[in-house]
Amino acid sequence: MSTAAHYERPNTPPLPAPKVMLYKPLPAPLLRICDQSIGAGNLVDVTTKRHVKISCPGIPQEIFDNLPLYEPLLELMRYTGGGTVGLTPSQGGNGSEGSAYVHPSNIIPSGNGSFTHGGLQSVSGVGPALAALRQTEWPVTLPVESFDVTQGLLSFMVLGVVPYRNAVTSLGAGTLGIYSASAALRKRKFLKSKRFPYGNIYSPGYFQFRLSIKDPRDERGKRIHGPSSIKISCSNSIFPFDPAPTVPFNVPIIGGAAQAFLNLNFISEEANFWLGSTSRLPAS
């Protein structure tokens, strides 16, 4: 067999990009999110202004006619951000790589899979209560199926303290806010710059979805992936900080530093989702 023939791409059905829909369920259920420490894995209740539903229109009928052969999956992808080198995928890292969208281990068993596709995966560094929520794969068995993935997305977010410079006292303060789990591991938990009034730990979570099928020609069960969906952003529904005058320049050490007022309408335990990027410097 020639080299070209050996590496020939298998003739498999094309996969579409998943479709994302934001909707508001009535009544809105309480969902769970990590309370400060990923390792401890304690959970608290939060509400969301909108939920996220994923559908997969356009999957070729050939795949549904041969489900045991292809085993189609909807897969969650999360953005790790920079500085996660050395962290395990279950913690929110990307191994030895830098910033990237990665497919985390599917903690909720989905059958006997290979590598991170299916099966009960390692939960190293994640508390068991949190690990039980981290579904990242959904078997697709019908052409008209849709999946509410909101709890799966929130399992990669944290409700924790966000430091900021209080404009009333010009001193450091803190408020609870919702930010990405990878930011909780990689960002400094204190103010490090005069330019911004709050710490760069306050970073939105970014997610995408993709479809995958088993390669019928690969005896190891290697999976073939389709294109990614539109980006989904997650953060607090209301931005917690209102602009305020800078610290007077004649104040020692912190003169000229940015300050903020706490938004009176801010609800720390209320999340929301957007399509596309939600840029909230300095956490980008």
In a domain, 255, yes or no: no
In a domain, 279, yes or no: no
Give the pLDDT score at 110.
45
Domain range spanning residue 206?
18-160+177-188+200-239
Give the pLDDT score at 188.
63
In a domain, 11, yes or no: no
Number of domains in the chain: 1
The CA distance from 88 to 122, in Å, is: 9
DSSP state at residue 187? S
In a domain, 262, yes or no: no
- The tens place of each residue's pLDDT in the chain, 284 residues long, gives 444 433 344 577 889 999 999 999 988 889 999 998 777 778 999 999 999 999 999 999 999 999 999 999 999 999 987 544 334 444 444 444 457 899 988 876 544 444 445 444 455 567 788 888 889 999 999 998 999 999 999 999 999 999 999 988 878 889 999 999 888 776 666 676 788 899 888 989 999 999 999 998 888 878 999 999 999 999 999 999 998 999 988 888 888 889 999 999 999 999 999 998 765 544 33
Contacts of 22 (CB under 8 A, 6+ apart): 50, 51, 52, 53, 273, 274, 275
Give the pLDDT score at 105.
81
In a domain, 36, yes or no: yes
Give the pLDDT score at 182.
83
In a domain, 273, yes or no: no
**Phi, psi of 5, deg, nearest 5:** -70, -35
The residue type found at 162 is V
Give the pLDDT score at 279.
58
Alpha helices by DSSP H, listed for the chain, are: 3-6, 61-65, 67-70, 128-131, 150-154, 181-186
